[in-house]
A and B are shown apart, each in its own frame.
Chain A
């Protein structure tokens, strides 16, 4: 693992600001792992804030809700931040934010059973908000007994501060969300893992001993429960990778081809936990989230609360004026994020940040031959030999890439980051994975 330059100072300790709602939002029908949804609304239909507008019949999916009130003006193919293009519902804003009548505020949250909590999570359309987008109601319904819940608050990607500002500003709410999550999976040990570059968040979570009980408020045998453990991790990339986190905290590795629940562990991202709180306590479906909008091109980088479907251009304008024309726009972190070809792509449930690079920062370097320095091997968090997979991939020896463990790659990007020869290691491994799957 590597200590990266953080670039977090611009938005560290900057209060979360709600972004103004856009005149039009573009809500893609695929924002999760699983089957894309189908629209429940027709062009011309009026929708309310939080109304379910897309659904599908499938095992793995999450419903999608409107993030504004207004009129559906189009359902069309539109740029998507992760998959190029996707069928998208376009809604024109009437700026009334009239709430959906379907959602009545809930009472007596502490009486809820695990199944009821999961149902609420499902209805709220919650997915893993750290970037993966796996439907949360499925993750919180593991087929095996769970004893450990790890809340992933590492936020190890440079530039991003959305999670850390959420932790500082919404500590109480997050604790309630953690309690609900722990109850859902029946975990006895709950850990919250935070990198040591977020001292304010660590202080908040460590100091709130009284709040600890909040975590277990709903659980019958509170006395048997161990308190919430705040784990302070060194700021090293990729500390927040699920495999790495489990190894660091439990000392165990997930066996190859197994999943965390096989070890009795569930890892949940901190923003997702906050969304669970909002769904259960405020009866609010997932239609907005906190995003870091930053980069040297911006005069006013911010942590913004943005509606799903907001074109990133509107968020960039909110943080303007732009000092320099951005040469590269990245959605996500700089290590794993995706470079965008247009600024019309909308925010989706898995968007953690928007980073603008100027021409100098965006300029790539030419690849040299591998000099076999072995740096990629030493830094790979899953013990691969990226340089060998890279060579095999370039020769299209797909079987060879498999033998060398291409399918175990978590695509964290650290190999390409450290490579002195600027080799596109991750890119070639991703290519091999695509060929093998």
Chain B
């Protein structure tokens, strides 16, 4: 028995939790949103999702082989990045668009910073921002819901998103709140069905993987400011449409809450959420594009280190 005992620093027991487990459970929580996207937009949505995931995994594998890094494609993070990126795309994109986006997300969004845990920006959103900047035409060609144009119809019949209509000052005549909630609207694959997103988010809440500290301040800020700065004068805005439209719910629950790129303390996370809400509404109401969720989160990602600096936890015995 001598010299064969394992010696290590305490503690000697460990929770069952692991990075890999968290990643795969987040992926599972996103399945309802993906299925609803496929139901709403047809098989082209499935094709886009598969392309996004596969190319993210291949990008990570190739980069790790090329630079002789530890292979981590099974930890779920690249899968999740590809999944989230494809959820942020219109269903009927050219096949190379999700590939280019996933490659950018993995290579520039994550790998150049040193891999998972080291990146400053949410990789999926970095990928999306890259695509919007490079090929805005494809990124805003939103498909009609499939049951409006017939199943398996791959023609890109495009329609303005509810947010674009709001931006133009048009009322949402044909779209009810229920349509917005269930996803009977044009938009990105994973963002349209609010019901499915809330189901997934509820699962993450129950698991304790996300908390209210980012999403709730984020959504409340957007709703409140949308109401205050309404098109017909103060306190007249259609706040519910603002909350139910665009990528707010997907962004608030699944992207802003990304551990790596959000603040560490709960206090910091509240500031982070409010900041995301402010920037989102500024872009939506007065900015150059109709949607601001992606840019708002990316900007607050950059601000996370400074938020961390001013929201440190209080050490026992200090006031």
Chain A, interface size category, equals 35 or more
Residues of A contacting B: mostly? loop
A383-B7 contact, Cβ under 8 Å, with A369-B115, A421-B117: no
Q: Which of B5, B22, B262, B313 has the most CB of A within 10 A?
A: B5
Residues of B contacting A: mostly? loop
- Per the 8 Å Cβ criterion, residues 295-319 of B in contact with A are 312-318
- Residues from chain B with Cβ under 8 Å of A384 in the complex: 313, 315
Contact A362 B265 (CB under 8 A): no
A368-B317 contact, Cβ under 8 Å, with A335-B13, A339-B5, A413-B11: no
Contact B5 A418 (CB under 8 A): no
Report the separation of the CA atoms of residues A258 and B317 in the bound assembly, to the nearest whole angstrom. 9
Contact A424 B315 (CB under 8 A): no
- Residues from chain A with Cβ under 8 Å of B316 in the complex: 243, 247, 253-254, 256, 381-383, 408
- Per the 8 Å Cβ criterion, residues 248-295 of B in contact with A are 259-260, 262, 264-266
Q: Contacting chain B: which of A48-56, A224-232, A371-379?
A: A371-379
- Per the 8 Å Cβ criterion, residues 1-17 of B in contact with A are 1-15, 17
Q: Contacting chain B: which of A90-98, A264-272, A326-334?
A: A326-334
Report the separation of the CA atoms of residues A292 and B12 in the bound assembly, to the nearest whole angstrom. 17
B8, B14, B116: which contacts A371 (Cβ < 8 A)?
B116
Closest-by-CB residue of B relative to A421 is B19
Q: Does A315 contact B (CB under 8 A)?
A: no
Report the separation of the CA atoms of residues A436 and B314 in the bound assembly, to the nearest whole angstrom. 21
Q: Does A357 contact B (CB under 8 A)?
A: yes
Closest-by-CB residue of A relative to B72 is A368
Contact B19 A372 (CB under 8 A): no
Contact A335 B10 (CB under 8 A): yes
Closest-by-CB residue of A relative to B313 is A383
Report the separation of the CA atoms of residues A357 and B6 in the bound assembly, to the nearest whole angstrom. 10
Contact B259 A374 (CB under 8 A): yes
Q: Does B21 contact A (CB under 8 A)?
A: yes
A255, A362, A416: which contacts B317 (Cβ < 8 A)?
A255
A336-B5 contact, Cβ under 8 Å, with A253-B316, A253-B317, A372-B264: no
B18, B114, B264: which contacts A420 (Cβ < 8 A)?
B18
Interchain nearest-CB distance for B24 vs A (Å) = 12
Report the separation of the CA atoms of residues A336 and B2 in the bound assembly, to the nearest whole angstrom. 23
Contact B14 A365 (CB under 8 A): yes
Q: Does B175 contact A (CB under 8 A)?
A: no
Interchain nearest-CB distance for A274 vs B (Å) = 26
A4, A326, A368: which contacts B13 (Cβ < 8 A)?
A4
- Residues from chain A with Cβ under 8 Å of B11 in the complex: 334-336, 413-414, 416-417, 426
B5, B13, B317: which contacts A340 (Cβ < 8 A)?
B5
Q: Which of A328, A370, A371 has the most CB of B within 10 A?
A: A371
Contact A256 B260 (CB under 8 A): no
Interchain nearest-CB distance for A408 vs B (Å) = 5
Closest-by-CB residue of B relative to A410 is B316
- Residues from chain A with Cβ under 8 Å of B8 in the complex: 328, 339, 364
Closest-by-CB residue of A relative to B77 is A371
Closest-by-CB residue of A relative to B209 is A373
Chain B, interface size category, equals 35 or more
- Residues from chain A with Cβ under 8 Å of B176 in the complex: none
- Per the 8 Å Cβ criterion, residues 41-70 of B in contact with A are none
Contact A357 B12 (CB under 8 A): yes
Q: Which of A338, A373, A375 has the most CB of B within 10 A?
A: A373
Report the separation of the CA atoms of residues A166 and B4 in the bound assembly, to the nearest whole angstrom. 34
A4, A326, A334, A371: which contacts B117 (Cβ < 8 A)?
A371
Q: Does B118 contact A (CB under 8 A)?
A: yes
- Residues from chain B with Cβ under 8 Å of A142 in the complex: none
- Residues from chain A with Cβ under 8 Å of B314 in the complex: 383
Contact A413 B264 (CB under 8 A): no
- Residues from chain A with Cβ under 8 Å of B114 in the complex: 369
A254, A364, A418: which contacts B17 (Cβ < 8 A)?
A418
Report the separation of the CA atoms of residues A112 and B260 in the bound assembly, to the nearest whole angstrom. 62
- Per the 8 Å Cβ criterion, residues 137-167 of B in contact with A are none
Contact B13 A430 (CB under 8 A): no
Contact B259 A327 (CB under 8 A): no
Contact B13 A334 (CB under 8 A): yes
Q: Which 5 A-B pairs have the closest CB atoms?
A: A369-B117, A413-B11, A427-B9, A382-B316, A256-B317
Contact residues of B with A, CB < 8 Å?
1-15, 17-19, 21-22, 75, 114-118, 259-260, 262, 264-266, 312-318
Some 25 contacts from A to B, beta carbons below 8 A apart, are A243-B316, A243-B317, A254-B316, A256-B317, A326-B1, A334-B11, A335-B10, A336-B10, A337-B12, A341-B7, A342-B2, A362-B12, A365-B18, A369-B118, A370-B117, A373-B22, A380-B313, A383-B315, A388-B264, A413-B11, A416-B11, A417-B11, A420-B18, A420-B21, A426-B10
Contact residues of A with B, CB < 8 Å?
4-5, 158, 243, 247, 253-258, 325-330, 332, 334-343, 355, 357, 361-362, 364-365, 368-375, 377-378, 380-385, 387-388, 405, 408, 411, 413-414, 416-418, 420-422, 424, 426-427, 430
